[in-house]
Amino acid sequence: MDELELLKKDWNRSETSYTNYSEAEIYPMIKKKSSSIVKTLFYISIAEMVFWILINVVPYYLSSNYRKEIEELSHHTWYILLTVSGYFIIAGFIWFLYKSYTTISVTDSAKKLMESILRTRKIVKYYVIYNLFLAFISIPLSFYLMLQEDQQLATEVSNMNSGQMAILIALITAVTGLFIFVFWIFYRILYGILLKRLNRNYQELKKLED
């Protein structure tokens, strides 16, 4: 059964479950569910930020080789910009989710609740797109920085013939593609399920407004 049919079944179940409730009773239920979903997204985003901080900080203090590599990379403007912007984006994402949660919690208008749900979906969508873009440039950029730091590697690459260069490019492309795919699966599982539930709430509200 495809995804559209599953959504139809979910919608039919939702319609049946609300048969015995009035519109005045349905709205608080949808509001509560939406608020709970956004609150969960908020907590997940905080956990994600802590995870990335630990991934970068713990190895820095446990491995002298890793610490040396980071210190060398810190001289590159691109590395600093990507690192700072990455944490800035996550912090902004957390802030916007918190604002969405507080807005949904206090709103008494179905229209405003629908707008908050749409805004939350867009926030998560843009955040995932940003992270996929970051994953897309990370592998090629890391390889470029390695060439700048490792003269032996740079010499080996410069001495490659066209066939070897094609293989290297194909390998970098494959690793980059795999990296993006893993990130996409991660965010689809992490945020996709909650966004589907949030979208279901939006559709229920839309039906009440019609």
Give the amino acid at 127: Y
Q: Characterise 161 by phi-psi region: left (phi > 0), alpha (psi -120 to 50), beta (else).
A: beta
Sign of CA dihedral 10, 11, 16, 17: positive
The pLDDT, as a whole number, for residue 95 is 92
For tokens 């066209």, name the residue: 162
Q: What is the pTM of this model?
A: 0.71
**How do residues 40-52 score in pLDDT, each as one tens digit?**
999 988 888 888 8
Report the chain's C-alpha Rg in angstroms: 23
**Helices assigned H by DSSP within 63-76:** 64-73
pLDDT tens readout for residues 60-77: 777 777 677 777 667 767
**Pick from 3, 4, 10: nearest CA to 197:** 10
DSSP state of 63: -
Residue type, 58: V
What is the residue whose two structure tokens read 């690459």? Answer: 157
Name the percent of the chain lying above pLDDT 70. 82
pLDDT higher for 158 or 128? 128
Mean pLDDT value across the chain: 78
Q: Give the count of beta carbons closer than 10 Å to the beta carbon of residue 131.
A: 20
Which residues in 132-148 are b (16+ Cβ under 10 Å) and which e?
eebbeeebeeebebeee
